[in-house]
Amino acid sequence: MHVLILGGTTEGRVLAGLLHDAAGATGATDGAGPRVTSSLAGRVAAPRLPAGEVRVGGFGGAAGLADWIRLHGVDAVIDATHPFAERISFNAARAAATAHVPLLALRRPGWVPGEGDDWHEVGSLAEAAGALGGLGGRVFLTTGRMGLAAFADRPEWFLVRSVDAPEAPMPARTEVLLERGPFTLEGERELLARHRIDVLVTKDSGGAATAPKLAAAREAGIPVVVVRRPPVPAGVAVAATPEEAARWALDLGRGPGVGPAPGPASAPAPGPRPGPAGQRATDPAAGPSMEG
């Protein structure tokens, strides 16, 4: 069985390790364990590579992905991309339907506000930029390096944190901080104080690795502009953890007599499932993530 993981997240890397270990435990050459290929978009200069085979780069849209699936004998696809990688998730749904292979979306649970939070939820980066008026003048912008153009015309001062250096256009008054999570609560407290931050902008990426900034903002009474995540494509099954996704793939590999593991991966779902998605943003059980 050949499993294609559309990766680039910590969850995708953990999933590849779980499936690779399963193949090693059974001996992949006897057909009992899955062959695992992870595909990375190539947007990060030095990504942390997962176990198993790795390819880097795009596919050329949904049609190109469907062709790649057929050419390489892929039996199942798991979309473990960032919750905001809307285009590749849409292409994955179309490609899987075209190639007639099962598709699962692996999505870490999103954040929810806790007592004392001052959240302003918006639907896009453009809306986030528009929401800044009156909230503050020194902005901690943690939405990743790809969407800075939405804030290019804003008059506020911005501290932009990303894994790789951003490119123009970006706000005129910008300081760039190149760091990769996980981050600590103590570190985020110090950062907010040192830069005199009075408003935070973030995507609802979920996970524990970048959640301490939310707790630090709550303690400091700083408002947070949160960009809501896009929904998973309609009809795509969803798993909340790498372990659930691994069970789904391994059950598929056991043949038609064995159905997918119970839980969210066993039935189509229009978006992240309820339950774990309601965890507090500071709950370590939400799992790690990369910022942006």
> Which of the pair, 279 or 59, is modelled with greater confidence?
59
> CA triplet 6, 142, 232: central angle to 5 degrees?
35
Mean pLDDT throughout 90-114?
96
Range from 1-5, 45-49, 264-268 that averages highest in pLDDT: 1-5
Mean pLDDT throughout 237-249?
97
pTM over 0.75? The answer is yes
CA–CA distance, 11 with 109 (Å, rounded to integer): 11
pLDDT of residue 276: 34
pLDDT of residue 94: 98
Q: Is the pLDDT of residue 203 over 60?
A: yes
pLDDT of residue 197: 98
Long-range contacts of 41-49 (CB under 8 A, 24+ apart): 41/8, 41/81, 41/85, 41/88, 43/8, 43/146, 43/164, 44/8, 44/163, 44/164, 45/164, 47/8, 48/13, 49/13
Mean pLDDT throughout 12-23?
94
Which residues are registered as beta bridge partners of 106?
Answer: 239
CA–CA distance, 53 with 33 (Å, rounded to integer): 14
Helix (H) / strand (E) containing 89: helix 86-99
